[in-house]
C-alpha cells in the first residue's frame, strides 16, 4: 500500500506542477456552468436551470459525466504512455514494486485530480441551494455517481495509455472506449429503434442515471466497480506483457 501511495502522490503533484491541470479544470468548470445554467440543445432533453426554474441538480451531474468523458481521457493519457516514451517506465518497474502497485498508484493519483475537480464544482449546488431547495438525495447520489463514472473513465484511460507510447493515441483510444460505454444505450433511440436491454446493461449513462436519482442500487455500484477492477487487471497484465514482448 505504501508504494501505491508514493506513486499516487508523485502523479498527483505532477498534474499540478504544470499548467495542464489548471487549464483542464478551468475549462471543465466553465463548460459545466454554461451547460447547466443555460440552454444547450444537445444530449440532455431537460431545459436548463434558468429556463426550467426548478432546483433540480440532476442535469448538473449528467453534464459532468459527459464532460468527464472527454476531459478525463486527457488526464489519463500521459499516465503510462509518457513513461514508456521517456523510458522512465524501465526505471520505475525495476524498483522493488509490483506492476499492480504501479497501476493502482497511477490510478489513485488521477483520482486525486478528479476529486479536486469535483470539490471545485461544489459552488454550483451551493448556488442552486441559495436560489431554491434541491433534494439532498440526488446531490449525494450525483457526486457518488460522477466519482464512480469518473474513476471508471480514468481506469479505461489508464488501460489505453498502457497500450501505446503516444499520448495522442492513448487519448483517442480512451475517448472512443469511454464514449462507446457512455452512450451505447442511446444508439437504438437515435436510430429510431426500440431500446435494447443488453445495451442498457452495458451503458454508463443508464447506470449513472439511476445513482444520480439518489437511488443507490448495489447493481449499479457493482457495475462500475467491476469495470474499474477489470481495467486495472488488464492494465497490469499489459505492463507485465512487456517482459515477453520487450517493451
Partner 1 sequence: MSTSQISMISVQNLVRDYGPIRALSDVSFLIERGQVVGLLGPNGAGKTTCMKILTGFIAATSGQVLIDGKDIVEHGVEVRKRIGYLPENAPLYQDMRARDYLHFVARLRNIAPEKIKERIEHVAKVIQIESVLNQDIGTLSKGYRQRVGLAQAMIHDPEILILDEPTSGLDPNQIIEIRELIKEVGKDRTVILSTHNLHEVTATCNRILIVHKGRLIADGSPAEIQEQHGGSNTFKISIQGAGESVKDTLKGLEGVTDVVRLENQDQAATDWRLFGAADVDLRADIFNLAVQNDWTLLELHHERQDLETIFQRLTLT
CB-based contact 63:148 (threshold 8 Å) = no
Query: Least distance from C-beta 89 to partner 1, angstroms?
Result: 8
The string of DSSP codes covering 144-175 is: HHHHHHHHHHHHHHHHHHTS-S-HHHHHHHHH
CB of 70 to partner 1, least distance (A): 24
18 vs 226 by CB, closer to partner 1: 18
Residue 224's alpha-carbon distances to 10, 128, 195, 214, 221, in angstroms, are: 26, 28, 21, 16, 5
**Of residues 10 and 213, the one with the C-beta less far from partner 1:** 10
- Site map for partner 1, 15-54, x if CB under 8 A? --xx------------------------------------
Task: Report the chain's terminal Cα–Cα distance, integer Å.
Answer: 26
Residue 16 CB contacts under 8 Å (≥ 6 apart), including other chains: 22
165 binds partner 1 (CB under 8 A): no
From residue 47 to residue 86, the character string flagging contacts with partner 1 as x (rule: CB under 8 A) and all else as - is ---------------------------------------x
CA distance 107 to 231: 10
Binding site for partner 1 (CB under 8 A): 2-3, 6-7, 10, 14, 17-18, 86-88, 90-91, 93-98, 242-244, 246-247
Amino acid at each position: 500500500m505504501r508504494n501505491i501511495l508514493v506513486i499516487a502522490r508523485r502523479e498527483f503533484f505532477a498534474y499540478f506542477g504544470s499548467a495542464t491541470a489548471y487549464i483542464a479544470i478551468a475549462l471543465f468548470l466553465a463548460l459545466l456552468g454554461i451547460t447547466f445554467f443555460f440552454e444547450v440543445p444537445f444530449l440532455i432533453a431537460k431545459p436548463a436551470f434558468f429556463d426550467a426554474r426548478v432546483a433540480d441538480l440532476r442535469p448538473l451531474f449528467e453534464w459532468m459525466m459527459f464532460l468527464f468523458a472527454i476531459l478525463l481521457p486527457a488526464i489519463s493519457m500521459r499516465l503510462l504512455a509518457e513513461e514508456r516514451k521517456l523510458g522512465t517506465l524501465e526505471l520505475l518497474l525495476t524498483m522493488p514494486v509490483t506492476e499492480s502497485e504501479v497501476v493502482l498508484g497511477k490510478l489513485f493519483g488521477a483520482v486525486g485530480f478528479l476529486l479536486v475537480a469535483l470539490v471545485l464544482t461544489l459552488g454550483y449546488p451551493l448556488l442552486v441551494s441559495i436560489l431554491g431547495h434541491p433534494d439532498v438525495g440526488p446531490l449525494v447520489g450525483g457526486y457518488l455517481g460522477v466519482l464512480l463514472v469518473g474513476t471508471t473513465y480514468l481506469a479505461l484511460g489508464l488501460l489505453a495509455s498502457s497500450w501505446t507510447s503516444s499520448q495522442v493515441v492513448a487519448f483517442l483510444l480512451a475517448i472512443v472506449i469511454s464514449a462507446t460505454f457512455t452512450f451505447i444505450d442511446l444508439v437504438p433511440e437515435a436510430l429510431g429503434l426500440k431500446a435494447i436491454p443488453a445495451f442498457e446493461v452495458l451503458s454508463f449513462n443508464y447506470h449513472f442515471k439511476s445513482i444520480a436519482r439518489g437511488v443507490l442500487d448495489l447493481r449499479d455500484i457493482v457495475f462500475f466497480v467491476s469495470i474499474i477492477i477489470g481495467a486495472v487487471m488488464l492494465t497490469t497484465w499489459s505492463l507485465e506483457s512487456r517482459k515477453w514482448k520487450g517493451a
